[in-house]
Amino acid sequence: MSRITELRCRACATSAPVGPSYVCVRCFGPLEVVYDDDLIRATISREQIGARPAGIWRYHELLPVDVPPERGLPVGSTPLQRAVRLGERLGIERLWLKNDSLNPTLSFKDRVVAVAAARAQEFGFDTLACASTGNLAGAVAAAAGVLGLPSYVFVPADIEPAKICQALAFGARLVPVDGTYDEINRLSIEVADELGWAFVNVNLRPYYAEGSKTLAYEVAEQLGWRLPDVVVVPIASGSLYTKVAKGFDELVRFGLVEAHPVRFIGAQPEGCAPVADAFRDGLEHPVPIEKPRTLVKSLAIGSPADGASALALARRSGGSIEAVSDGATRAAMRLTAENEGIFTETAGGCTIAALAQARANGLIRADDEVVALLTGNGLKTPEALDSSGSAARDEDEPLLETGPVPAARRIKPTFAAVEGWLASDRRRKPVPSADPLQSPLSVG
């Protein structure tokens, strides 16, 4: 008797056999994995999970593979860090940061890829592929390498160089496409059909998406098997956002946590915010954005597959979906790095900026327990903070550097040179005070 009983259409509930399919034959709606709840309830417990090794497979009963894989990267069990200083800056007494930039390829995409790759092997695929906004490419490339499979990663040609470098380092064939993510996604559907590759986020999407639930399981377990009042989640396709909610619901259904209302705040960049715009305008479906224009390339999906589900979740949970400027994202990246020691990528900056905005407009209260998901690493998007990266740069903001330090700025290895350097540094920039700023994310 298998735990995984069928696939089912989220829109019309038509059932489909368990296989590498992803759209409903009746209405073209998205398919989701259905489990045998009774079987899971009879076998799962906090004690059993707690006794297992770290990583996402400690929750394997709740994941859509028949058997936990023997090979694969060590994914998950990332820290949930109490953010005292950032919390003070934002006026939140209990703030937690889920630092998912510490996964093997430095983003939460390792979770979804681990699940999709395991399932792809169960289905007998011999090639992994993906349509990516950047992070997925590295995750697929690394996972394929560890399994000894070839990988093909399709990315917009203008993504961050570090993300291209990473995917190539892991041995992927990188296909840079002169187009948007949405164009690449459409292309991938065709390639998957023609060549029979396992595109983790296309023909294996029902399984892939389930991997995001592990973030919810970990957050609840790390809080001592409790749910928070608010979670703040970045949105590209909306899959992560909706699957975190599904993960919490399952924990309640299987008696692992007490029921507790959670408000879901979504984060999108203004230059590509189809879900946030639809939320503001009271629409049920996002209006696609043709040409994303944002520094937050990892979230630049103009036609989000799970946009309607994300909107419904924001509304029924009493949350919201916030659109934030690139300037606010950059300020939030620096605020998080300087106060919490986490250098998060643009998606994380966008998430903290959305959190600040939701706090400022009263959606989040001072005494709420809040968890923000930091899903990627800042070393992948350094140009967001340097002089070359953004037209949205604030002129008076000190720049970070990503290239070699110019000869004129280097000093000799002597104490006199240090004294000279300190004097000129003080002229350039006052030493920061410990006082919280009035409005930490205001940007010019």
Ligand X SMILES: Cc1ncc(COP(=O)(O)O)c(C=O)c1O
Six-digit token string for 304: 């989000």
Centre a 10 Å sphere on the Cβ of residue 418 and count the other Cβ atoms it contains. Answer: 12
231 binds ligand X (CB under 6 A): no
Pairing of strands 198-199, 151-156: unpaired
Q: Tell me which of 5, 14, 77, 222 binds Zn ion, using CB under 5 A.
A: 14
Instruction: Please state, in angstroms and rounded to a whole number, the distance separating the CA atoms of residues 254 and 362.
Output: 33
Residue 24 interacts, among ligand X, Zn ion, none and using kind-specific CB cut-offs from 5 to 8 Å, with Zn ion
Do strands 15-16 and 4-9 pair parallel, antiparallel, or not at all (unpaired)?
antiparallel
360 makes contact, choosing from ligand X, Zn ion, none, with CB < 5 to 8 Å by partner type, with: none
Give the number of other Cβ atoms within 10 Å of residue 133's Cβ.
Answer: 26
Q: Does 30 bind ligand X (CB under 6 A)?
A: no
What's the N-to-C CA distance of the chain in angstroms?
61
**Chain residues 360-389 in contact with ligand X, contact rule CB under 6 A:** 375-376
Interaction partner, residue 239 (Zn ion, ligand X, none; CB < 5-8 Å by kind): ligand X
Among the candidate windows 12-20, 234-242, 381-389, 411-419, which touches ligand X by CB under 6 A?
Answer: 234-242
- Alpha-carbon distance of 115 to 129, in angstroms, equals 14
The one-letter code for the residue type at 233 is V
In the complex with ligand X, the residue whose CB is nearer, 44 or 185, is 185
Of 133 and 214, the one with the shorter C-beta distance to ligand X is 133
Question: CB burial class (10 A; 0-12, 13-18, 19+) of residue 298?
Answer: buried
Sheet holding 94-99, edge to edge: 80-82, 94-99, 369-374, 230-234, 263-269, 320-324
CB 75 → ligand X: shortest distance, Å?
15
Name the token pair of 61: 């009963």
**In the complex, minimum distance from the CB of residue 296 to ligand X, in angstroms, rounded to a whole number:** 9
Looking at the Cβ atoms of 11 and 252, the one nearer to Zn ion is 11
16 binds Zn ion (CB under 5 A): no
Residue 99 within binding range of ligand X, rule CB under 6 A:
no
**11 binds, options Zn ion, ligand X, none, Cβ within 5 to 8 A by partner type:** Zn ion
Using CB under 6 A as the binding rule, whether residue 240 contacts ligand X is answered as: yes
Q: Is 78 in the site for ligand X (CB under 6 A)?
A: no
Minimum CB–partner distance for residue 8 and Zn ion (Å): 9
Q: How many residues bind Zn ion (CB under 5 A)?
A: 8
> Binding mask 279-318 vs ligand X (x if CB under 6 A, - otherwise)?
-------------------xx-------------------
Query: Per residue in 203-241, is it b (16+ CB within 10 Å) or e — as a string?
Result: bbbbbbbbbbbbbbbbbbbbbeeebbbbbbbbbbbbbbb
What are the residues binding ligand X (CB under 6 A)? 107, 133, 135-136, 234-241, 298-299, 345, 347, 375-376
